[in-house]
Structure 1
Amino acid sequence: MTRPVGIVGAGLVGSGWAIVFARAGYPVRVFDSDARTMATFAERVRGNLEDLARYELIDSPDAVFERVEMVDTLEQAVGEADHVQESVFERTDVKQAIYRQIDEVVGADTVVGSSSSGIPASEFTDGLDHRENYLVVHPVNPPYLVPVVEIVPAPWTRAEAVERATTLMEAVGQVPVLVRREVAGFVLNRLQGALLREAWALYEEGYASLEDIDKTVSAGLGRRWSFMGPFETIDLNAPGGISDYAERLGGLYLDIARQRSDPQPWSRNLIARADAERRGALPKESLGERTKWRDRRLMALSAFMARSREAEGE
C-alpha cells in the first residue's frame, strides 16, 4: 500500500497540495493547528475539485476527495508519511517552530519539503535531528494548476532526499526545477521580482497605468511565456538564434539595467496610489470572486495545453 503524504498547513497552498497528491492517487493526511483554517479546508478543496471536473481535468471529485483525511494531530499527519509538505505561514520563526515539532514525530526516512517562497531551508532546519531529509519544495499557487516546483536543498540535504522529492513531483504531474544552491527568493521569485521592480518604476515615473502595464504582460509577454521561457523566446526572436539576439539587443538591455542601478523600496505613497487604482478597477470585496476567475482561466488553459500536447504526440 502506498504510504500517505502529510500536509502541514491547510491554507490556500496546503489545500492546493492536497489536490495535487490526491489527484495522483496518493492518500493524504492534513493537519493545521488553527481550527478555523481546518474548518474551511474541506469546502475549499471540494469547490476546487468540482471546478476541475467541469473543465475535464479530473473525472470524479468525490473519488479524489475520499483520499484526503483531516487529522487531529501533527503526528497523525506525518508519522507514517513517505513525504511531508509543509505550508505554514511564510516567516522564519514560524517555520523554525513547526520544524522542531515535525522533527520529533517524523519518520527517520521521511522527506519533508517546505513550500517556502523565498526563505532557504537552512534558516529553519539547522540543528535538527533529521535535517538531511529537509529541503524546499516551492510551488506556484495554485499548485494543481501551475505545475512548476522549485527543488532547493539546504547545504546538508542528502542527495537521496533531493532525488526522492524530484521523482515524487514528476509522479504527481508537477514540473520540478532544481536550484543547485540556496539563494534568497530562489529562481521564480527572483525573476518575478525583476519584472515587478521595473513595473513599479514605470508606474511611479508615469510612463503607463497599472492596467496598461498589466496588459503588456497578459496580452504580450505572457502569451509566449505560457509555453516557453525567456531564453527560448530570445533564441526564436532573431534569425541567428540567441547569439544573434544578444548581438542585436544586448546593448539596449545593458542601458536599461544601468538606469536601474539604485533600487528603492516601494514607498507608502506609491503603494497607496497603486492600491487606489486597483480598488477602482476591482473592489476589495470582489477579490475572492476574481481569484476564482483566475483559477478557472488557468483550468481552461491547462485543458487546452493538455489537448495540444496530445494532438502533437508529446
Structure 2
Amino acid sequence: MQPIRNVAIVGAGLVGSGWAIVFARSGATVRVYDAEASIRASVLDRIRDSLADMREVGLVDDVDAIAGRITVADTLGDAVSDADYIQESVFERVDVKTAISLAIDAAMRPDAIVGSSSSGIPASAFTEGCVHRSRFLVSHPVNPPHLVPVVELVPAPWTDPAIVPFLRTEMARFGQVPVVVNREIAGFILNRLQGALLNEAWALFEEGYASAADIDATVAHGLGLRWSFMGPFETIDLNAPGGVADYAQRLGPLYHSVAQDRTEPKPWSEGLVGKVAAERREALPGESLADRRAWRDGRLMRLVAHKQAQKD
C-alpha cells in the first residue's frame, strides 16, 4: 500500500474539521464533505480559526499553507472518489452510519481505506453490506483530534489484516498516537476506561459522598496530572517500591473490595442527571458553554505544546 496523500473527510462537524487539520498539517490534500450546506459553508472559517489559535502556541507555523490544502466538496462523490483514505465522522447511530458507509462504498476507489470515527459502535454493525467491507474499520479519535492525538484502530472481523499495521504507521506519520484494539468490543478501550470512571463518579455523587465539583477536582488536580503523561499501568508501576507486582500485592485487595461495591451498576437516571446538570449550570451557565470549550481547547494546545517540547 502506498502512503496516504489524498484524504476525504465525510462529516465536517467538530470531529471532522479536527481530522482535516490532522491530515492537512502533515501535507496531505484534504477534501471535506458534509450533507448540511450550512456546515460546508462555515467549515473552512472554523478550521482557519483553529489553526490561528494553534499558531499562537507554536503548534503550527503557516496557517495559509495548511488551510490551502483543504477544500470543500459539494457532493460525497467529489470528496471520496480520488481519496486514498476516507475518514467518516457522521452521527453516532447505526442506521446513519450504515447509510453513509453504503454511500461511501459505492463511490470510493476499491483500494481506498475507510476509517469511522465511531465512539463505541463496532464497524461490523454498519459495514457488513458494503461491497468493499474489507477496506473498512474504526479509527476512533478523541475530540478534538487535532489536539488529542490518540486514535483507536478497531478492525471488523472482515477487515483486511494488512490494513491495521499500515494505518498504524500512517497515523503515526500524521502525528497521531495510534493504538490497536485486537478485536471488536463495544466502547473500545478509551470509552470503556472513561466509562468506568464516569460510572463511579455518578455513583459517588448520587450517594452523597461529594459534590460534582469536588469529584471533578479529584481528577483534574489529582489523577489527571499523572494521566496526562502516563497510563494506569505505568502509574502504579512507579507508585510502589517494587513496581507493579509490589503495588498489586499491597493494594490489589483494596481495589477488589471496591469493585465488589459496584456489582449491580445503575443507569444514569433522569433525576440524577438533573441534579448534576443543575450544579454544572450554576457553575457554568449554558450560554457560556461555547466559551468554556474554547478555553478547554486553549489549555489543551498549551499542554500539547509543552509535551512536544519535552523529551521522554
Aligned residue pairs: how many?
A: 310
Contact 1:145–1:302, Cα closer than 8 Å, also in 2:
yes
Identical residues among aligned pairs (%) = 60
Q: Corresponding residue for 2:129?
A: 127
Tell me how far apart the structure 2 counterparts of residues 5 and 68 of structure 1 sit (CA, whole Å): 10
Tell me how far apart the structure 1 counterparts of residues 226 and 183 of structure 2 sit (CA, whole Å): 28
Q: Corresponding residue for 2:74?
A: 72
Counterpart of 1:153 in structure 2: which amino acid? P
Contact 1:135–1:152, Cα closer than 8 Å, also in 2:
yes
Q: Corresponding residue for 2:152?
A: 150
Alignment RMSD? 1.0
Q: Corresponding residue for 2:48?
A: 46
Normalising by structure 1, report the TM-score: 0.97
Q: Paired residue for 1:308, among 300, 307, 310?
A: 310
Deviation track 1:35-88 (CA, whole Å, cap 9, x = no partner) reads: 122122122111100000000110011111000010111111111111000000
Q: Paired residue for 1:195, among 194, 197, 210?
A: 197
Within the alignment, does 1:264 sit opposite 2:256 as a pair?
no
Contact 1:149–1:176, Cα closer than 8 Å, also in 2:
yes
Contact 1:5–1:29, Cα closer than 8 Å, also in 2:
yes
Deviation track 1:218-274 (CA, whole Å, cap 9, x = no partner) reads: 000000000010000000000010010000001100110000000110111100000
Q: Corresponding residue for 1:26?
A: 28
Tell me how far apart the structure 2 counterparts of residues 96 and 33 of structure 1 sit (CA, whole Å): 15
Bigger drift between 162-171 and 297-306 goes to: 162-171
Tell me how far apart the structure 2 counterparts of residues 147 and 245 of structure 1 sit (CA, whole Å): 29
Contact 2:4–2:170, Cα closer than 8 Å, also in 1:
no
Within the alignment, does 1:206 sit opposite 2:208 as a pair?
yes
Q: Corresponding residue for 2:58?
A: 56
Tell me how far apart the structure 2 counterparts of residues 166 and 145 of structure 1 sit (CA, whole Å): 18
SS at match of 1:89: coil
Tell me how far apart the structure 1 counterparts of residues 124 and 300 of structure 2 sit (CA, whole Å): 33
Tell me how far apart the structure 1 counterparts of residues 159 and 107 of structure 2 sit (CA, whole Å): 19
Q: Corresponding residue for 2:286?
A: 284
CA gap 1:2/1:218 in 2 versus in 1, 3 angstroms: closer
Q: Corresponding residue for 2:257?
A: 255
Counterpart of 1:5 in structure 2: which amino acid? V
Counterpart of 1:223 in structure 2: which amino acid? L
Counterpart of 1:55 in structure 2: which amino acid? V
Show structure 1 runs of 4+ deviating over 6 A: none
Contact 2:94–2:125, Cα closer than 8 Å, also in 1:
yes
Structure 1 unaligned regions, length at least 5: none
Q: Paired residue for 2:178, among 151, 176, 179?
A: 176
TM-superposed deviation, 1:2: 6.6
TM-superposed deviation, 1:164: 2.5
SS at match of 1:177: strand
CA gap 1:177/1:265 in 2 versus in 1, 3 angstroms: same
Tell me how far apart the structure 1 counterparts of residues 93 and 156 of structure 2 sit (CA, whole Å): 17
SS at match of 1:138: strand
Tell me how far apart the structure 2 counterparts of residues 211 and 227 of structure 1 sit (CA, whole Å): 23
Contact 2:141–2:151, Cα closer than 8 Å, also in 1:
yes
Tell me how far apart the structure 2 counterparts of residues 161 and 241 of structure 1 sit (CA, whole Å): 36
SS at match of 1:84: strand
TM-superposed deviation, 1:98: 0.4
Tell me how far apart the structure 2 counterparts of residues 3 and 265 of structure 1 sit (CA, whole Å): 44
Q: Paired residue for 2:83, among 81, 84, 102?
A: 81
Counterpart of 1:217 in structure 2: which amino acid? V
TM-superposed deviation, 1:163: 2.3
Normalising by structure 2, report the TM-score: 0.98
Contact 1:2–1:27, Cα closer than 8 Å, also in 2:
no
Structure 2 unaligned regions, length at least 5: none
TM-superposed deviation, 1:169: 0.4
CA gap 1:301/1:105 in 2 versus in 1, 3 angstroms: same
Q: Paired residue for 2:17, among 15, 18, 28?
A: 15
